[in-house]
Each structure stands twice: as C-alpha cells, then as structure tokens.
Amino acid sequence: MINLMNLLPLARAKAPAAALASALMATGCISPVAGPGGNYTQPIGGSPVTPNPTPYSEGLVCMGHFARHSGVRAPRIAVGRILDYTGKADIEGGRRVTQGGSLMAMSALAKAGAVLVERFDTSVAELDLKYKNNKLIGEAPGQFDKIHAGSIPGSDFYLVGGITELNYNIRSVGGEAFVGDTDAVDPKGTIGAKLFVINVGLDLRLVKTDTLEVFDVISYQKQIIGRELSFGIFDFANGNVFDVGVGGRAQEPIQLAVRSVIERASLEMMANLYGAPSADVCAMTEGIISTNSTTGDYSPFRAPVEAYNGGSRQSVNKWHEDRDSGYELRGRTSEQ
C-alpha cells in the first residue's frame, strides 16, 4: 500500500522544477529538435538598420557639398593605421577601445567628399596583380588582362595616428539613502544614484605623400558620462518577506565617442584642405542639395552627378521586408 505522506516531499521537490520549466517555456519557444526550417528557435529582434551618425556627420556632408559646388578639387587621401595605443584591455572582454579607427576615418573623409585611394588593405589588389602578371586573369582562355603602367592613381596625402588616451573615472559622485522605521517589521527603502566620467583621446596627422611633410596635426579628447540609479523596498506582510529592487545603468558608448573624435578631426582637416571660409558651410549650400544625409550623399555609379542617393541610404524603412511597402522580396511584397 502506497503511503501518500511519503510522496508529499517528492511532490514538493518537483514543484520548483515544474515552475522553472513553465517559466522557460513562457519566455520563448525552444524545441530540442530542429524544426522544419532547421533551427531550434526563432531569433528575437528585427529592428531596421539605421544610420550611425555623430554630431559632426552633418558638417562633414556639408563640407563635401561646399567643395563640389565651389569648384574645389577634392584631394586624394589614403588612410593608414590609426591604432589603439591605450593598452587598456579586460581580462575577459578584450580591448576596451575599437581597433577600427582607420575604418571610421575612411567613412568620415568620404562624407566630406575626399577621393579615397586604398592603401589600408591591398591584399586583393596585390593578388589580382600577381594573377595578371602570370596571365591567369581574362574573359576567356587565351585572352588575358594586361598590366598597364600608371593605371593606379597616387595619393596627395595620407592620414595616420592613433587613439592615445582612455582615462577611467576622471571624476565620480554618488549618494545612497536608507529610509525606514525603527520597528523591524515596518517597511524600509533604499535609493541611490551615481555619476562617473571617463574620456578618450586621439592624435592624428595628415602627411603629404610626395614629400613626407606633416601637413596638419590635431589632438582631441572627448569625455564620456555614465550613470547608475537604484531603488529598493524591504517589507514583511502576512508572514512573508518582500525584498524588491529596481535600477538602471547607462553609459555613453565608448566606440561612438571615438567615432565622434575622429569625425571632428577629419572635419577640421578637410576644412583646411578645401579652404572653407567659415564653419557655417551648411548655410552656404542650403537649397543647392535636396538632402543632407548623415551617411553621405553619393552619386550612383550609372546616374548623373547630381543624382545623389543619400536620402535613400538614410531611410530607416528602405529595403526592409516588413517596413518598405513597395519593396518586393522573394516574389512577394511586404503588404501581403
């Protein structure tokens, strides 16, 4: 005969496991067996791709408009290594500062209308050149591409430098308060707030390619702020203990701060190269260009010079299968 009292502890032990399993099932549909699509679960998310501007992006684009409509010749610029010289790294997370400073500088200079010549990663071009030299590249057997002297344009200037500072906790301030009655069973609460500031620094130099003369040098820094808020309540009610805490933490992105510093430095250097009469270049080109896209206004390859596509590139809904109502994807429209 089964003793029900002996089964009671086992049932109590399984209850938390059942509750945990129910919670996991509620948070998302996960199957131990791959579904018809080949996946165990459907990823969450799906937000559209958006531009990644800084407060200086619009100024860069206006600078490019000013040069094009003032007849100023855009210099050919090559971007070299813009390295992280801070040496700051986490044990688990790796480098604290982006290693893509050169790529950010290329994007900034392109927004300002500079003509970029590739010197950062020439591995594909060098391999192509090697294959052409061995007569391996062509449209058909026996018809090989020829190497022509002088086919690669040179650069007027090249940009190099590095991220030289990452200073933690330049200054921090915080406070915490505890409020409650002296009676142990009365509710009590805590509230706290903290602010802290760090900074990043950058040193760039623009070098004249044919003479190696350092044409321009700029050193900038940007401070980054972070904050932390917390709030908690502790109370006894009907024989139960309630300990509830909420909080939030936010910090301005370090890598976006690096991009901002690079864009400001690039803007100042291009202003010198173009001979901009003032910093208000956006007002000088107002009404000439229909869009001031923070991604840069670029002319499509097979379109007239004035057919800029910056507005299309900046659109949040463009090409998104669920947000662009006129876009046809895989034989269907998003309206279906």
C-beta separation of 190 from 231 below 8 A:
yes
- Within 10 A of 46 (CB to CB), how many other CB atoms are there? 10
Find the helix or strand (DSSP H, E) in which 26 lies: helix 4-27
Closest Cα to residue 77, out of 296, 287, 266?
266
Closest Cα to residue 157, out of 115, 208, 218, 216?
208
Please list the helix, strand and coil fractions of the chain in percent, rounded to the nearest 5, in that order.
Answer: 25, 30, 40
What pLDDT is stored for residue 288 in this prediction? 63
What pLDDT is stored for residue 68 in this prediction? 84
Q: What angle do CA 171, 176, 179 make, to 5 degrees?
A: 170
- Looking only at Cα atoms, what is the longest distance across the chain? 100
- For 160, the token pair is 């190099």
- Within 10 A of 241 (CB to CB), how many other CB atoms are there? 8
Which single residue is written with the structure tokens 């500031």? 197
What pLDDT is stored for residue 335 in this prediction? 45
Residue 273: exposure state from Cβ atoms within 10 A (0-12, 13-18, ≥19) = buried
Q: What string of pLDDT tens digits covers the 336 residues of the chain?
A: 445 455 445 444 455 555 555 555 555 588 888 888 888 988 888 889 888 999 999 889 889 888 888 889 999 999 999 999 998 888 877 889 999 999 999 999 999 999 999 999 999 999 999 999 999 998 888 888 988 899 999 999 999 999 999 998 898 888 888 887 777 667 788 889 999 999 999 999 999 999 999 999 999 999 999 999 888 887 777 667 777 888 888 888 999 999 999 999 999 999 999 998 877 888 777 766 555 577 776 666 666 655 667 777 888 888 888 888 776 654 554 444
b/e map 79-111, b = 16+ CB within 10 Å? beebebbbebeeeeeeebbbebbbbbbbbbbbb
Q: How far apart are the first and last CA of the chain?
A: 63
What pLDDT is stored for residue 243 in this prediction? 77
What pLDDT is stored for residue 98 in this prediction? 93
Strands 157-180 and 76-84: parallel
What pLDDT is stored for residue 185 in this prediction? 67
What pLDDT is stored for residue 129 in this prediction? 92
Closest Cα to residue 218, out of 263, 281, 254, 277?
263
Looking at 34-140, which runs of residues are DSSP E strands? Answer: 76-84, 89-90, 94-95, 115-116, 138-140
CA atoms within 13 A on the CB side of 164: 12
Closest Cα to residue 318, out of 69, 48, 83, 121?
48
Strands 328-329 and 188-208: unpaired
What pLDDT is stored for residue 270 in this prediction? 95
Q: Which long-range contacts (CB under 8 A, 24 or more apart) does 234-242 make?
A: 234/180, 234/187, 234/188, 234/189, 234/190, 235/186, 235/187, 235/188, 236/185
Backbone φ and ψ for 208, nearest 5 degrees, come out as: -75, 125
What pLDDT is stored for residue 310 in this prediction? 73
